[in-house]
Structure 1
Amino acid sequence: MKQFKLQHLFIGIALASILASCHKDKINPGQDKPTAEERAGLYVLDQGNLGKPNSALTYYDYATKKLVPDAFSTANSKGLGNTANDLKIYGSKMYIVVDVSGTVEVVNPKTAKSIKQVLFQTADKKSREPRSIAFYKGNAYISLYDNNVAVLDTATLTVSKYIPVGRNPEQLAVSNGKLYVANGGGLSYPDVDKTVSVIDLTSATVTKTLTVGVNPYAVSVDSYGDVFVHAYNIYPAKPTLTIIDSKTDQVKSTADFDGGPFSISGDNAYYIASDGTIKIYNVKTAAISAANLAPAGTTFTNAYAIAVDPLTNEVFVTDAKDFNSNGLIYAFDKTGKNEYSLVTGINPGSIAFVNK
């Protein structure tokens, strides 16, 4: 079963205790960061309808309060493509991963103007289905559904290597100089994968393959080096969360979990629970610290994606509505107060924050 940002499919289940409370030491000491006042705005990647070339990029300018419904099309006089799946900013460039089109659009985040379109296609022009992107020391790492991770030099914007991993890799993240790749295996449903490939980023080779939950799709990392892997599982079995210690590459726990991918800031991991509420999981104490961030009366039709701005601690939640028409994005302050909401395109699935 092909995965397409399916946060809305989480089953209503009880949260199991997943890790005994323990003292954790940060492995990445804080570095100088821009201040909240330097934020220029935010981008929302609208995935569009699966199989249709209607992906878009919504931009909201904090200073002018102006909303640009399709910033990429406006800046480039062409569409973004078919089924955009991931959006991230690294250095002076923004990277947009477009699955069915088989492209990664590299753009200037201040203008949305295209710098280069990198193709991930076969000789007969079929997409290799790029899914997600992560970065480390000047390289971008892009998961491809043909069982590889592409290594893209962010200076030359050329691919230097393909690293074989498991089946149909999804999200990936870096911790302790290693890349953790969730091998979903969705194209061979119900015979899906249940592994994470660990890639040493010095040698660019897989050094270990870990068993996690069935059909893993999301990976995130906290400041202590723990790697969190969310897995869909196969209905009626429950979704799971696996925690990996990146210092030892040992699986610390795998247990049922009632929510979607983490967006982590400090010790707080924000996520959308299966009941549509926004919860906070404390990664240091391994406990839920807030049962519902949003104020009473706030409801989402289909809460779809979540991101926390580490500079302001504002939390942004997208609502895909009926999955066929324009969605919304809601902004909450760190106390959970609803600040504002904006109209997005169809299936708003990723959020990126832009500096001035």
Structure 2
Amino acid sequence: MNKLQLKGLIAIAALASVFSSCRKDRITPDPVDPVAPANGIYILNEGNFSRNNSSLSFFSIASKTTTPDIFKTVNGRGLGDTGNDAKIYGSKMYIAVNVSSTIEVVDAKTAKSIKQIKLTNGGVDRQPRSIVFNKNKAFISSYDGTVSVLDTASLTVDKYITVGRNPEEMVISNGKLYVANSGGLDYANPDKTVSVIDLTTLTEIKKVDITSTNPINIAADNYGDIYVLAYGTDYPSKPKLIIIDNKTDAVKTSKDIDAGYGTSFIVVGDNAYYITDAGKIAVYNVKTEVTKSENFITDGTIFKAPYALAVDPVTQQIYVTDAIDYSSNGRLYTFNDAGKNQDVNKKGYVMDTGINPGTIVLLSK
């Protein structure tokens, strides 16, 4: 989840939100949980913009050991400039390196490079941002206004789908791919749409006007709702949480939310987790549509610059990175389902990371 250090540059004032409650019935099946909890943790570190110093850290849960930059150790070269997203699909991990405009495909267990894919259009970098998967296809949003469709067997791009301006995160729900079009490179005129792509025809079938500008983060629940965080451009402004019905693709509601800029909205079961503007970890119940907790952390742990989140759906462990000062190495913390710090190394946190630890990837056994 790359923010290009926007967390350190943009402050969005926010107040605690009050959410109305309603009953929701589950209409889609739960996702299949991993067969085992995570036994390893990858951290994709963005590095500093245009410094060519992205890195991939790894922590072994079994041995409690850290490899500071496993990609460079294994492959003898660096990742490139501004690692933006990483996800595991099957036996491979796919890493989007934004400014270098590459997709690194590596063995998920060893980080050994399988293929580096350059995403360009007539020699112009596309700048990949986010990755999701469906039926042996990887979908990659890029700042040039496209979603690449990558075949995960041949590792070649089948087609490019034109969407909105500067697309960011994506989510799959009800047979459709939803793409948050930020328009974030045009500060004076950001986008305010979510593209809807039919996964059968691989075509954009509509753009949903969410009225709020600069949508970046997007997620889905098991009740037919799509959640979009839109940040606007005015200062001070409150981020908006926009909820879209995945049957009609119509906006159901829009609410103020105390989210920090660029935080992921991670839905696991009936709970969504996000980083607040005050640097806390909030929990929102997607079934009742009320805030369950304004701070999940119960042991007094305080972050300097909380940056990325991940949740193990098997153990309910919560992982949080701290970018500290956005220019030096960060840290990874883990908390149990009661919000208590799991001080595995007796130093208050799990591991030291690289600079700007923006994406957490859990490696299952």
Find the aligned partners of 2:46 and 2:315 in 1 and give their Cα distance. Answer: 26
Question: In structure 2, what is the equivalent of residue 161 of structure 1?
Answer: 159
Question: In structure 2, what is the equivalent of residue 91 of structure 1?
Answer: 90
Instruction: Report the residue type matching 2:362 in the other structure.
Output: F
Kindly provide the CA deviation profile for residues 296-326 of structure 1, in whole angstroms up to 9, marking residues without a partner as x: 4311111111111111100011111110000
In structure 2, relative to structure 1, the CA distance for the partners of 1:32 and 1:316 (3 Å cut) is closer
Question: In structure 2, what is the equivalent of residue 322 of structure 1?
Answer: 325
* Pick aligned residue for 2:352 from 325, 343, 348: 343
Question: In structure 1, what is the equivalent of residue 363 of structure 2?
Answer: 354
- What displacement does 1:20 show? 4.1
Question: In structure 2, what is the equivalent of residue 266 of structure 1?
Answer: 269
In structure 2, relative to structure 1, the CA distance for the partners of 1:32 and 1:127 (3 Å cut) is closer
Question: In structure 2, what is the equivalent of residue 240 of structure 1?
Answer: 240
Is 2:14 the counterpart of 1:13?
Answer: yes
- What displacement does 1:68 show? 0.5
Find the aligned partners of 1:22 and 1:59 in 2 and give their Cα distance. Answer: 41
- What displacement does 1:18 show? 4.9
Question: In structure 2, what is the equivalent of residue 170 of structure 1?
Answer: 168
Find the aligned partners of 1:272 and 1:29 in 2 and give their Cα distance. Answer: 24
Find the aligned partners of 1:158 and 1:30 in 2 and give their Cα distance. Answer: 27
Kindly provide the CA deviation profile for residues 32-79 of structure 1, in whole angstroms up to 9, marking residues without a partner as x: 64133xx32110110000111100001000111110000100110000
Instruction: Report the residue type matching 2:12 in the other structure.
Output: I
Instruction: Report the residue type matching 1:280 in the other structure.
Output: V
Question: In structure 2, what is the equivalent of residue 203 of structure 1?
Answer: 201
Task: State how 1:55-134 maps to structure 2 within 5 Å.
Answer: 55-124=54-123, 126-134=124-132
Find the aligned partners of 1:59 and 1:160 in 2 and give their Cα distance. Answer: 32
In structure 2, relative to structure 1, the CA distance for the partners of 1:264 and 1:6 (3 Å cut) is farther
Kindly provide the CA deviation profile for residues 110-146 of structure 1, in whole angstroms up to 9, marking residues without a partner as x: 000011111102443x421001111111101000111
Is 2:300 the counterpart of 1:301?
Answer: no
Is 2:290 the counterpart of 1:283?
Answer: no
Question: In structure 2, what is the equivalent of residue 50 of structure 1?
Answer: 49
Find the aligned partners of 1:32 and 1:122 in 2 and give their Cα distance. Answer: 37
Given that residues 5 and 349 in structure 1 are in contact (C-alpha distance below 8 angstroms), is that contact kept between their aligned partners in structure 2?
A: no
Find the aligned partners of 2:359 and 2:181 in 1 and give their Cα distance. Answer: 20
- What displacement does 1:25 show? 1.1
Find the aligned partners of 1:270 and 1:191 in 2 and give their Cα distance. Answer: 29
In structure 2, relative to structure 1, the CA distance for the partners of 1:106 and 1:17 (3 Å cut) is same
Find the aligned partners of 1:285 and 1:103 in 2 and give their Cα distance. Answer: 41
Instruction: Report the residue type matching 1:57 in the other structure.
Output: L
> Normalized against structure 1, the TM-score is what?
0.95
- What displacement does 1:289 show? 1.1
Corresponding residue pairs, total: 352
Find the aligned partners of 1:16 and 1:294 in 2 and give their Cα distance. Answer: 18
Find the aligned partners of 2:198 and 2:19 in 1 and give their Cα distance. Answer: 27
In structure 2, relative to structure 1, the CA distance for the partners of 1:251 and 1:56 (3 Å cut) is same
Given that residues 266 and 310 in structure 2 are in contact (C-alpha distance below 8 angstroms), is that contact kept between their aligned partners in structure 1?
A: yes
Given that residues 43 and 358 in structure 2 are in contact (C-alpha distance below 8 angstroms), is that contact kept between their aligned partners in structure 1?
A: yes
In structure 2, relative to structure 1, the CA distance for the partners of 1:24 and 1:6 (3 Å cut) is farther
- What displacement does 1:30 show? 5.2
> Normalized against structure 2, the TM-score is what?
0.93
Unaligned runs of 5+ in 2: 344-348
SS at match of 2:185: helix
Instruction: Report the residue type matching 2:246 in the other structure.
Output: S
Find the aligned partners of 1:35 and 1:193 in 2 and give their Cα distance. Answer: 40
SS at match of 1:339: coil
Find the aligned partners of 1:4 and 1:200 in 2 and give their Cα distance. Answer: 30
Unaligned runs of 5+ in 1: none
Larger deviation, residues 182-191 vs 155-164: 182-191
